[in-house]
Structure 1
Amino acid sequence: MNDAHLHLIVNHFPIIGTILGFGILIVGMLLKNNSVKNTAYVLFIVAAIFAALSMATGEGAEELVEDMPSIGKKIIHEHEELAEKLAIALYVLGSASLIALFLSVKKNSKEKLVSYFILGLALVTIYLTQLVGTSGGEIRHTEIRENPVVTEGADQNAILNTSDKEANEK
């Protein structure tokens, strides 16, 4: 198993964990249930841990794919820059969740205020996860790029016919 494979295994949990944690936190706040909120906090902490694992395997994955046809360094660099921003947001979210978990266990009144901060931070983080997930998907899935890449040797007529059909359908 190489770094690219490891990266593909661990990089989905920060995205999914943050989205699930956000939904669970909203439910916990609406129900005023600390156990449910604590579940969300734990998900955010685990998402931050997986973000660290994704960052640790990302460089090795980059080395394996950057010279492949239709990929190139520019798209990987864009993904890497976005991933660094997401990682910072997840580290802050995970740290705040650790604090909220501690405050919840101690039954501190400031936990409610911290939970609102975490909710807002989770929303920002979800936006970043969408950007990172899309840019990561575009690395190997050229069909989802805004400007799909045509590789050498591709059947140009088939591509042109597909484009003509799409234009006629609109």
Structure 2
Amino acid sequence: MNGAHLHLLLNHTPILGSLFGLLLLLVAVVRRQETLINAGLVALVVAALLTIPTQLTGEGAEEVVEDRPGVTHALIHEHEEAAELSLWVMEATGALALVSLLARRRTAARAPLFTYLTLAGAIVSFGLLARTGNLGGQIMHPEARPGFVQPAEAEHDED
């Protein structure tokens, strides 16, 4: 197993984990179900933790693919920049989720505020992580790049 393979095994977990936590927390807040709120917060803490190994395997993936045909430094750089921002926002969301869990356990007056802040962070985190995943997919999949034209379609266009 090389660095790219390991990164590919991990890279969907932060995206799907943040989406799961976001949806669970959103439904729980709307329904005002304490148990589900706690479950959504825990899911976001776990998603934040899973983001770390995904980020750490990115450099190894870059080393494997950087010299392949069609892979450009610009594509890799844009993905790296997006990944770094996503990491920090997801970690902040995970920290907020942890603070919210602790506040809820102590029945602190500000517990709902922390929960709503966590929900907002989860929305932003998921959006950034989804964008990062899309940019990562474009590195090895030209069909995912904006403006991509199928070679067969290009030949027909010339006729």
Same fold (TM over 0.5): yes
Q: CA deviation at 1:130?
A: 2.1
Structure of larger gyration radius: 1
Q: CA deviation at 1:18?
A: 0.9
Unaligned runs of 5+ in 2: none
Residue 168 of structure 1: aligned partner: none
The 5-angstrom pairing of residues 90-129 of structure 1 reads 90-129=90-129
Contact residue 67 and residue 73 of structure 1 kept, 8 A: no
- How many residues were matched structurally? 158
Aligned-partner residue type, residue 161 of structure 1: E
TM-score of the two chains, using structure 2 as the length reference: 0.92
Asked whether 1:48 is paired with 2:42, we answer no
Residue 5 of structure 2: aligned partner: 5
Aligned in 2, Cα 1:51/1:149: closer, same or farther, shift over 3 Å?
A: farther
**1:83-114 deviations in whole A, cap 9, x for unaligned?**
00000001100111111111122222211111
Residue 142 of structure 2: aligned partner: 142
Unaligned runs of 5+ in 1: 151-155, 166-170
Aligned in 2, Cα 1:79/1:149: closer, same or farther, shift over 3 Å?
A: farther
In 2: Cα distance, 1:52 partner to 1:66 partner: 22
Contact residue 142 and residue 149 of structure 1 kept, 8 A: no
In 1: Cα distance, 2:32 partner to 2:96 partner: 19
TM-score of the two chains, using structure 1 as the length reference: 0.86
Give the share of equivalent positions with the same residue, in percent.
37
Aligned-partner residue type, residue 7 of structure 1: H
Residue 155 of structure 2: aligned partner: 161
- Runs (4+) of structure 1 exceeding 6 A deviation are none
Q: CA deviation at 1:48?
A: 1.0
